[in-house]
Every structure is written in C-alpha cells, then in structure tokens.
A and B are shown apart, each in its own frame.
Chain A
Amino acid sequence: MILVFSNDDNFCDRMKFYFSNYPSMQDIEIIRQDYSEDLVISKLKIHRPFAIILDFSVELKNINSLFMKLNFIKKCPDYKSLPIFSLFSSKSDLEKYAYLFAMGLNYPFIKGSDEKILFSDIHYLSFESETPFAKYAKAKLNDLPYDGKLVSNIYGFTESSILIESDLYSGAEKLEKITLEFTGEEKTLEVRTQSSYDLGITGTYLFRGEYEVPFLGPWDEPTEDLILKDSYESWLEENEDLFKQKLGRALIVSSRVEDYILAGDLTDSTNFDIYNASTFEETKVFLEFYQFDLIFFRLDRDEDEVKSENTFENLFRLTNAVKNIRNGETIFVAFNSPSRTEAIRKALDYDQVLSVSDDIFKDKLNALISVFEQKGRKMSCQTYCYSPYLNEARCFFNIDLKITSITEHEITFYSEADIPMYSLLKIEVPSSLYLIIVPPTMQLESDKKGVHYMAFITGGEESDAEILRSFVNRAIIGGLEEFSLSSTSKELDIGEALLEDIEGEIIGELESSKVETETEQRKLIVRKTNINGRTKL
C-alpha cells in the first residue's frame, strides 16, 4: 500500500500504471487521499503503508503541525523505516519547505521531472525489492574529492551554544565543520563539541550534540568563521516568537502509535521536551543521560491489539534503573493502573509514583505538566529555545566525499564518516541537489579510503537534470579531474561553464542541422556528449 496525499489523480494513475508492469507489485494498492492532517494520521494508522507521498504542489494547511506528528510517528519502531516522498511544483517551493528535510522528509521530487525515476526509486526504497532501473551513462571516477553537506536539525539555542541533531557522533571537544544558514547568511564554521549523546531509538537522528557558538572575541581578527555575539543575541530576540522555552523533560513509555503523536503535540505546546519509548528495553540507552523529570508509563491492557510487555514488572525495572539518577526525583505516573498509588509505591519500593486508572490522554498529560510549571521547580534541562520548524536557520555537517562513479541518477563515493542509510546530503555541484543514501544496487567494497556508499540524486528540476547529464558526460570524457570539486564557489562556475561549453557546441550543430524540436535537441546533446552509448535518451 502506498498512500498518496494529493489532488492529482493523474499522478496516481501513472504510478499505478508503472507498478502494473511488475507482477510482484500488482497487488500494491495506491490510495489517493485529499489532504487533511487528521486524515493523514488516521490513514497511516489504519493502512500501515510502505510509503507515503505528500504533494506539496497543492495548498497544504497546517503542514508544520502535520510534520511534527509524522516526525514523531517515525520514531515509533513500527514506522521507523517508512519513507516519506514529497512532490514540489518548483525548486523555490522546495526551498520554502527545506526545513522539513531536517525533520525527516526523505525524498524530494520536483513535478515535471522524469517521473519514471521517482517511481523506480519509490519501488526500491519502499519494497526493497529488485528494481529495474533505467540505464544511464556512468562516469567512473578515481576518488574525486567532493563536498557533501549532511542535512542536520537545529534543535535549539542556548545563550552560547547550538543544539544540533545529526547522524554524526562528535566526541567532546572535537571540532566539526558545519555550514550554518543563519541571520540571513551562510557561514562555514568550525565549532567545538561541548557534549554529544545518543538519541537511541527515540530520535529521528542518532545523536544530539551541543556545539559552542564561535563568537568573535575582543582580541580576534574579524573573520567570516566567527559570529558577532550581538547579532546572535539580537537574532534570537527577533525570532523569539518562533521559539519555545524548554525547561523539563518527560518520557512517554507506550506502545501505541497515538502516544507518539501525542508526544509531538506536547513538545509543540508545552515547555517540556517529550520523548517516546515503546518499552522499557528501549529506554535503557538514554535513561541516564536525559534525567527525566516525569515518566508517563502506559500499562498494557487486555484489549490492546499489540502487547509490548509494559507490565508492573517492567515498571519496577524502570523505577529501579532511575533510582540512582537525580536522587530518585523522577516522578512516574502509571496509566491504566488497576492498583492504588500506595500499593504501587510499596510493591515497587519507589515513592515518587502515582497511579491513574484511566488511559493516557492529552488533557491529563497537559494538566500534569502544568502542575510542574506552576510549582516552578528547577527542572532537568538547561533552559534553551526550541523551534522545530525554523527555516530561518539551517545546519549541515560538511563531509568530505571521494566520488567513484556518477550517473544522472546515482552516485557512489567513499567517506570516512559513518553515514546511516537513507540519510540526506545536500550538494551544490554541479547543481543544488540532494543525495539520499541507499542500499547499494551493486557490490561496493569499503576499504581504508572509507565506507563505500551509494546514493540517489534527487530534488532537481529538468534544468538541473540537464546540467547533471552534462556533468556526467564531461566526467566520462575525463575533463573533471583537473578541477577541484571541493571548493564550492569554483564548482558552480565549473558546472555552469560545462553546460555553456557543451550547449555552445550543440547550438552550433543545431543551427547547421536545423533540428527544431526540443526533444531532438536533447537527443543531439546526448549523442554529442555520450561516448559509450549508455546514456538514456
């Protein structure tokens, strides 16, 4: 089942037609739904689709709220591998929603580009089955140096640091090179890691790190890689409305997907950072680090469809595990509890526990969190500003890549960085595009040069595809090695120069051969630049 939230029936028909060509895929249901936030969530729960496709080319209301929910749903083990594809009408629209990539949107596609590429990628990423990809000309490259920017999420700001979530682990004191789009400009900065911790199974990303803002000191030479403290502070102040203060942390232990959505709602509406875990086992990784103020534990009920072993025995194990953390100040609220608070306290030998006979529901959790706020107790978090959908500030970890091959659809490269599957990287050369790391479709050996990755190239318009095609063809000819591809400013010039160069030659030929149609022009470009006959027409 693939769920498509769009008003574009033709798109769904074309996708159905694509899958009808593959016997094993003929049972795949493609359901088109008109978009509404509640509908997305309810359909997701009912159908358990292999993939969802959100059409951003139509007016999407409450997209931030929807995405917050999707983001939390994707933390639920049952939905963790659910790919979310997105359709945009233009590249400027893609940029408008670019912050959603940092929140877990997997695959951008611009309508009007080659849909067969999208369909085969959906086929491959959703069903992990053998996919008959179109054949493209491939340039084999000898570890060509290249810059990739790993999409990361700015989680929040403190007075002197930035909290960034990413799939890269940074040890304390380690210097990391990041690209920060911030205060209206893009800066490449070297930032010092203050701390980094594992988000475990609860995160969209693997790690959250706190990085020192490289402020310009009184004796420093003003350089591009330092930030003025005044402009940082005034930017935070100006954008105050976008931020929420986070003062405490809570954990919801529940196997219900609804409670993952609830965690998203509460993170959005309260000054608590809310985390999820399905079971006690899942909490082990981060329990000590987070030092939760509150833990809401949903006991399984007889009528639950899925039993997750959230029993009193596991509640006991959890209270035991936190007993030595924060001097046992963590307060537990056990929901669906048939026993009274006094009985639970004695049986678990833990005083900071409350029993609620009802199931978890939003108003109750909100009320309990409010009690904390009203009491004004000093809570676990260092105060920080949090904004989940902040397009005004974006962050990427700069990663050195060594390209081994490239086609207009995919790229293979070495990297010393440990990049998880389905991570998204932004590239600027030969055009502004995205790479999504995928399981390789061929044998790729890792060696001392690093891990050998394969990625699909996505997020381009037809003009980007042409630039990319030219880039590949130029690489096949062998004209790229002389250039340094890890210098961004040069690269753009190179890409454009390449295209102009090739186009110039083509135009000359076109004029002489009087070829008129655009299709024929493209064929001619391909013929001109293709030396091994493998380029797709």
Chain B
Amino acid sequence: MGKGNLLIVEDEEVLSSLLQDLLEPHADKIGAAYNGLEGIEAVKNNTYHAIVCDINMPKMNGIEFIAKMRELKYEHPIIFYTAHGNEQLMREALSYGAFDFLAKPHFDNLEETVIKALNHGLELFQGTGEVSEPSVDDELAKMIKD
C-alpha cells in the first residue's frame, strides 16, 4: 500500500509551498490548488486520498468547498487549518464531516494528522467501505476518570 495522494488548497503561495515541503515525505504525490474552485477541478481530474484546506479563502471558503465536495460524493478526509476566531466556521465544517482541525500558525501535529488522514483515505479508496476506527466503548472507558 502506498502513502496516498494529498491535495493542498491554500490561497497564499508561500504557505502552500511550505506545507508541500513539510508533507512531501508523507505522501506519494502532492497537488496544490490556490482556491476552492481550483480544488474542485483538481479532485475531478486526479485521485486524492485526502485534502488539507484553509478555512478562510477568497472566492470559495473552506465550508463552501467541503459542501461542494460532499455534493460531488467525495467522502475522503478533509483537514482544515484555521486561525483563532473562526470557531463558528469550524462548527459548520463538522456537519460536512471535517476530519480534523489544525491551528495556525503552529500546525501542531500536522504530519501525524495528515498521515492518519491519508491512511483513512486509502482505506476508503480501496473500497471496503470499512474504516478501522477505535471502538467508542474503548474510547469512553479511557475518558472515564477512575
């Protein structure tokens, strides 16, 4: 199994390049789109197992982008990164099935989250429809403080 293909949707070229450099070792292929509309076209023409996307973008913001992607039946993981103050947009993104959120400018856990998303996307792509997730009972047991 490969590492998977990743699309970065970011309107700022500098940041896009930085992310591509950071994530290159973890993906088979990295594509870049500079707004939501380009992102849609990129997904239509290529196979991407996961997407990393800015939530605040001109022309089409992250929410409009994920809404359109889900409409097009693209069910693969979409990770958003966002600056403080966009909490309402984050909650909106949840209803479209956001995979995770990363906080600008530090991008804590960026690589780990992207690897997880690509693995998840590959499992989906390989068609079983079943994605291995930890059992919610086990998760709950971990959360309950003794």
Interface set of A (CB-CB < 8 Å, partner B): 299, 311-313, 316, 329, 331, 333, 337-344, 346-349, 352, 354-356, 364, 367-368, 371-372, 374-377
Contacts and interface: CB of A to CB of B under 8 A. Distances in A.
B123 interface: no
A312 B95 contact: yes
Nearest to A313: B91
A356 B94 contact: no
B144 A372 contact: yes
A251 to B, nearest CB: 16
B94 A329 contact: no
Contacts of A368: 136-137, 140
A311 B95 CA distance: 8
B145 interface: yes
Contacts of B74: none
A344 to B, nearest CB: 6
24 contacts: A299-B95, A311-B95, A312-B95, A313-B88, A313-B92, A338-B95, A339-B98, A341-B139, A343-B98, A343-B99, A346-B100, A346-B101, A347-B87, A347-B93, A354-B136, A354-B143, A355-B136, A367-B137, A368-B136, A368-B137, A371-B141, A371-B144, A372-B144, A375-B146
B97 interface: yes
A354 B136 CA distance: 7
A347 B98 contact: yes
Interface residues of B, number: 23
Interface string B110-146: 0000000000000000000000000011011101111
B90 interface: yes
A347 B145 CA distance: 23
A6 B94 CA distance: 49
A349 B87 contact: yes
Given A346-B90, A347-B90, A371-B140, A377 B99 contact: no
B100 A343 contact: yes
Contacts of B94: 312, 337-339, 343-344, 347
Given A343-B101, A346-B90, A375-B141, 18 more contacts: A329-B145, A331-B144, A333-B136, A338-B94, A338-B96, A339-B93, A341-B139, A342-B100, A343-B98, A346-B100, A347-B101, A354-B136, A354-B140, A354-B143, A368-B140, A371-B141, A372-B144, A376-B146
A303 B139 CA distance: 29
Nearest to A340: B99
Contacts of B87: 347, 349
Nearest to A355: B136
B143 A352 contact: yes
Top 7 nearest A-B pairs (CB, nearest first) are A338-B97, A347-B90, A312-B94, A339-B94, A346-B101, A375-B144, A343-B98
A323 to B, nearest CB: 14
Contacts of B97: 338-339
A383 B137 CA distance: 25
Nearest to A358: B136
Nearest to A348: B91
Contacts of A338: 94-97
Given A312-B91, A339-B98, A348-B91, A377 B145 contact: yes
Contacts of A348: 91
Interface string B64-88: 0000000000000000000000011
Contacts of B137: 367-368, 371
A480 B90 CA distance: 73
A357 to B, nearest CB: 8
Contacts of B139: 341, 354
Contacts of A337: 94
Contacts of A371: 137, 140-141, 144
